[in-house]
Structure 1
Amino acid sequence: MPISALTGSRLRERRVALGLRQADLAETVGISASYLNLIEHNRRRIAEPLLQRLAEALGQPLQSFHEGVGSAVIDDLRAAAARLPGAEIDRSEDFATRFPGWAATVIGLHQRVAGLERALEAMNDRMSHDPHLSASLHEVLSAVASVRSTAAILAETQDIEPEWQARFLGNLQGDSKRLALGAEALVRYLDTAGQADEQGLASPQEELEAWLASNDWQAADPRGLASAAARQMAAGWLAQAARDLAAYPAVGFVQALAELGPDPAALAARFGGDVLAAFRRIALQPGARLGLVVCDASGTLTFRKPIAGFALPRFGAACPLWPLFSALARPMTPIETVIETAGPAPERFRVRAFCQPHFPQGFRGPELREAAMLILPEVGRVGEALAIGSSCRICQRVECPARREPSILSG
């Protein structure tokens, strides 16, 4: 069992907790106090027999001085430290070992901030492109302007005839009711916008994706969907899922996935199936923590399965640097690369993208292209990565060569 780099720190903390002097512990195990001091400050390696004697003298099991902090905790601490300059990132393990409670608090705050950033991205996306929200906001602002105008006339005009005064008061009452109803509808829409069983979803596609997410992206009864359009889309999705399952049978696919990994091209070659179907089967496996994005030839996202840490725009255009769009321009060419998100705590993902053309009306008809991008977690931060964002309005990379408009976060 390997000895942790912070074994000396643990020895020192245990000795201090027991109230032992350094000289007394050194004498007990048969070494000099100066040598023990170097060990406790992690400046000397410690042999296994000596560590065994020290553990016995301190009344602790030997493995308690071997075990280090989990790599996930260290990675989370380093990600939190990357948000602000001056943090001693190289001492993350030391901090987590000495103060596990504070480490958990810092990680929790970091995750909370990251969650709020994702909520901001989603809300900005909705504010910018959601037609239902735009109409609701327009209704509220229109009612506010009308109420203010009528109130100003009543307040500033001294000699209004009783008949006109009654008309203005009636208008004021009507506009006030309209404002109250509009504000109530707006709040209800924002509160229920992410739930599949409510009418607040902006589009049938969004309702379908929320329904799939609530069922862990597996087939379910589409009658639970609210709108007829979403149920119609669900019927098409279920038929497609059945075709994918027929091309990639569950048992054989799981075994092939274990052998080949999440490689759509290799799996398609193994089963002689469609590559894009392999993308869907990989991402929609029960319990798969992978993301999937599909677009048509116009670049419009037609399917989105999110993955934690990678923001997918719900409306409008996505980042043009996504490998998804590179694949769209190079059909039948597999693309694999590592991407890095924007922000103070960027995250890395490994993505695989592929575009496949279709000719539903024969070669004389139009060519339809569909591209898919599989998003997998990337362990470690070694090597170069393609810097990408979610959309220009919320991307903090000011010098991006593909920027279309200023970011609302850059100032």
Structure 2
Amino acid sequence: MSKVFMGVRLQRLREERKLTQAALAAMLSISPSYLNQIERNQRPLTVAILLRVGAVLGVDPQIFSEHDSAALVADLRDAFSELPEADTSLTEIKKLVENMPGVARAVLQLQSRYHMAAERAAALESQFDDGNRGISLAPPSVDEEVRDYLNQRQNYIDELDRPAEQIGDSSASALRARLEQHGVTVLPSEDSGPARGRRLYDEDKKILWLPQALTESQQAFQMAAQLGLLEHADTVQALVQAAAFSETARDSARLALSNYFAGAVRLPYRRFLQAAEDCRYDIELLAQHFGVGFEAVCHRLSTMQRPGYAGLPVFFVRVDRAGNISKRQSAAAFHFSRAGGTCPLWVVYEAFSHPGQVLRQVARMPDGSTHLWIARQVHSGPAGFMAPGKSFAIALGCDISQAHRMVYAKGLDLSAPDVATPIGNGCKVCERNDCPQRAFPSIFSNASPTGRSANRPSP
């Protein structure tokens, strides 16, 4: 492992427990001067001391990991990029995140509130401009709040995953029978109206309405999700309260947790992970074996981080043709920019031109990190002529050091530097000035779409 210099985090833990340096040093069986050097980042936190810290202070040593740091660094860089006069370097941002993650998150919360206020101001301005007095201000987006919570937990929720694994038979008929034990009746709903394509639960009548167009596998997933809200309501509520979600995000958080439970029921952890290892993470084989879709397998693979029995750490993304990212989960240190969009050279967008095919790409980020990505288009929606459908591209990636564990690395020379395609976090925050696909200048350079200096007039 790399050297961990996070002395301020350790100092904060010590002060929260009202311990002196001498007292904590004695508990860790080290000298006070050694502890003082660690807190001042003059010495790194070794594995042995990390384990002792976890034992004596009752914390998970993962709080000193760099998993969450990568996302925080990228988010902070985006935030500071909105202030052209801000004199902050990448090194300073990394130091802030490593030593004071609480301050870093507070900066992001301030940015989020600023954006919320700006959006509402724009809505009010629009209201007065066009004379429409009935305009309603849209509530702030809660997707990022829920997504950040899941990523901070490496997308693994042990409190729900283990109970889900105990259910056993996850077929639609078995789950329907289990719901009936709770007095719940499952009925088909019409595929029209505002609730099209969604499950609806009438708590008073104990009726679960499911869209007629759902496949048997999709019906099983929705029934499992409702089952989680019935049998583990206290656990879900405790998780939501502990995470301190905003009031507008609580319902979305409950939905995300119920869907997590459903995925864990349909793809039970140990059996699914063993199957994945046996077939070297061949997604189509796994989908066929468990009777689920390509996207469901990719989504579940991004959650396989049970302590002591973890799977391949992967990144999972779902995008549409317009480049909107509707799902983004990372079990490792990878993060796409929120403000800068995504890169047109990324293989996920190529998937729309090759329906049904699994594409692969070795891609290198500007910081030198390299990953193996696979992508495939997926389509869903009701059957029938001219019936509305949904089309997405699904991408799954892992660090190049772990790529040999995937069947998709077969035939690729992972060590050849010219194999990797240079991609970035999006034009706004990408430093690659020589990129042929650049749409507009990076805020970190003087590059322009034509290759001229942005500060120099064109001839």
With the length of structure 2 as denominator, give the TM-score of the two structures: 0.46
Matches of residues 312-391 of structure 1 in structure 2 within 5 Å?
312-342=336-366, 345-360=367-382, 362-379=384-401, 381-382=415-416, 384-391=419-426
Kept after mapping to 2: 8 A contact 1:309/1:347:
no
Residue in 1 that maps onto 2:299: 280
Kept after mapping to 1: 8 A contact 2:267/2:290:
yes
**Residue among 142, 153, 177 paired with 1:204:** 142
Kept after mapping to 1: 8 A contact 2:361/2:373:
yes
Kept after mapping to 1: 8 A contact 2:375/2:396:
yes
Matches of residues 249-288 of structure 1 in structure 2 within 5 Å?
249-286=268-305, 287-288=310-311
**1:397 corresponds to 2:427:** no
Instruction: Describe the shift of the 1:187–1:116 C-alpha distance in structure 2 as closer, same or farther (beyond 3 A).
Output: closer
Offset at residue 316 of structure 1 (A): 4.9
Offset at residue 188 of structure 1 (A): 9.0
Please give the alpha-carbon distance, in whole angstroms, between the structure 2 residues aligned to 1:330 and 1:366: 21
Matches of residues 3-402 of structure 1 in structure 2 within 5 Å?
121-126=74-79, 189-190=106-107, 192=109, 203-219=141-157, 221-223=239-241, 224-286=243-305, 287-288=310-311, 289-306=313-330, 310-342=334-366, 345-360=367-382, 362-379=384-401, 381-382=415-416, 384-402=419-437
Q: What code does the residue aligned with 1:230 have?
A: A
Offset at residue 374 of structure 1 (A): 1.2
Please give the alpha-carbon distance, in whole angstroms, between the structure 2 residues aligned to 1:324 and 1:187: 31
Q: What code does the residue aligned with 1:293 have?
A: V
Kept after mapping to 2: 8 A contact 1:211/1:225:
no
Please give the alpha-carbon distance, in whole angstroms, between the structure 1 residues aligned to 2:378 and 2:332: 27
Kept after mapping to 2: 8 A contact 1:297/1:368:
no
Instruction: Describe the shift of the 1:362–1:208 C-alpha distance in structure 2 as closer, same or farther (beyond 3 A).
Output: farther
Instruction: Describe the shift of the 1:360–1:127 C-alpha distance in structure 2 as closer, same or farther (beyond 3 A).
Output: farther
Instruction: Describe the shift of the 1:341–1:365 C-alpha distance in structure 2 as closer, same or farther (beyond 3 A).
Output: same
SS for the counterpart of 1:351 is strand
Please give the alpha-carbon distance, in whole angstroms, between the structure 2 residues aligned to 1:372 and 1:340: 19
SS for the counterpart of 2:393 is strand
Instruction: Describe the shift of the 1:291–1:187 C-alpha distance in structure 2 as closer, same or farther (beyond 3 A).
Output: closer
Offset at residue 126 of structure 1 (A): 3.5
1:150-201 alpha-carbon deviations (Å, 9 max, x no partner): xxxxxxxxxxxxxxxxxxxxxxxxxxxxxxxxxxxx9995164699xxx99x
Kept after mapping to 1: 8 A contact 2:79/2:108:
no
Number of corresponding residues: 248
Please give the alpha-carbon distance, in whole angstroms, between the structure 2 residues aligned to 1:386 and 1:211: 31
Please give the alpha-carbon distance, in whole angstroms, between the structure 2 residues aligned to 1:297 and 1:334: 17
Offset at residue 295 of structure 1 (A): 1.9
Instruction: Describe the shift of the 1:315–1:408 C-alpha distance in structure 2 as closer, same or farther (beyond 3 A).
Output: closer
SS for the counterpart of 1:234 is helix
**1:408 corresponds to 2:427:** no
Offset at residue 363 of structure 1 (A): 4.2
Between the aligned residues of both structures, percent identity stands at 24
- How large is the RMSD of aligned CA atoms in angstroms? 4.2
SS for the counterpart of 1:376 is strand
Where relative contact order (Cα < 8 A, 6+ residues apart) is larger, the structure is 2
Instruction: Describe the shift of the 1:213–1:308 C-alpha distance in structure 2 as closer, same or farther (beyond 3 A).
Output: closer
Offset at residue 393 of structure 1 (A): 1.7
Kept after mapping to 1: 8 A contact 2:429/2:442:
yes
Residue in 2 that maps onto 1:15: none
Residue in 1 that maps onto 2:55: none
Unaligned runs of 5+ in 1: 1-69, 74-104, 109-114, 138-185
Offset at residue 233 of structure 1 (A): 2.1
Instruction: Describe the shift of the 1:194–1:303 C-alpha distance in structure 2 as closer, same or farther (beyond 3 A).
Output: farther
Offset at residue 248 of structure 1 (A): 2.1
1:245-288 alpha-carbon deviations (Å, 9 max, x no partner): 34323232121012012332221122232110000111111245
SS for the counterpart of 1:311 is coil
Instruction: Describe the shift of the 1:194–1:406 C-alpha distance in structure 2 as closer, same or farther (beyond 3 A).
Output: closer
* Farther-moved stretch of structure 1 (276-285 vs 215-224): 215-224
1:378-404 alpha-carbon deviations (Å, 9 max, x no partner): 136325111110111221221212111
Instruction: Describe the shift of the 1:260–1:329 C-alpha distance in structure 2 as closer, same or farther (beyond 3 A).
Output: same
With the length of structure 1 as denominator, give the TM-score of the two structures: 0.51
Please give the alpha-carbon distance, in whole angstroms, between the structure 2 residues aligned to 1:226 and 1:303: 19
Offset at residue 339 of structure 1 (A): 0.8
Please give the alpha-carbon distance, in whole angstroms, between the structure 1 residues aligned to 2:257 and 2:384: 26
Offset at residue 332 of structure 1 (A): 2.4
